Amino acid sequence: MILEILAFIIGVVYGYVKPGKEKRWELFKKGVVYGVILGILFGIIEFFVGGLFTFVAGTIGMFIGVIILVLVFIIGTFIGDLLEVAIKK
């Protein structure tokens, strides 16, 4: 839960500080790429520690976790953009 709150706060700050609208689709695509990379990396580590089942579970779990964090971050950028428009008027 702490990581989600942190991702949200960072998203709000990012959306507020960066001028103009953010390209949310680009942020999502980058997040998917990072999710795949981290999933495979941690999956390989878990493969050597726990075997094939933990490799598959770890890879899928890490990918889903990163995607959730990216979605929370994107929601934060949306709110940061709204704050930027409201405060800087």
Residue with tokens 């702490």, as numbered in its chain: 2
Pair 83, 14: CB distance under 8 Å: no
Taking only the tens place, the pLDDT of each residue in 63-87 is: 888 888 889 988 998 999 888 888 8
Segment 32-55 shows an average pLDDT of: 81
Q: Please state the domain extents for the chain.
A: 23-87
DSSP assignment of 19-50: -S---HHHHHHHHHHHHHHHHHHHHHHHHHHH
53 vs 76, higher pLDDT: 76
What percent of the chain shows pLDDT beyond 70?
Answer: 99
User: Residue 79: its pLDDT value, please?
Assistant: 92
**Of 62, 73, 65, the residue nearest 27 (C-alpha):** 73
The reported pLDDT for the residue numbered 47 is: 79
Q: Whole-model pTM? A: 0.80
> Locate tokens 């726990």: which residue?
50
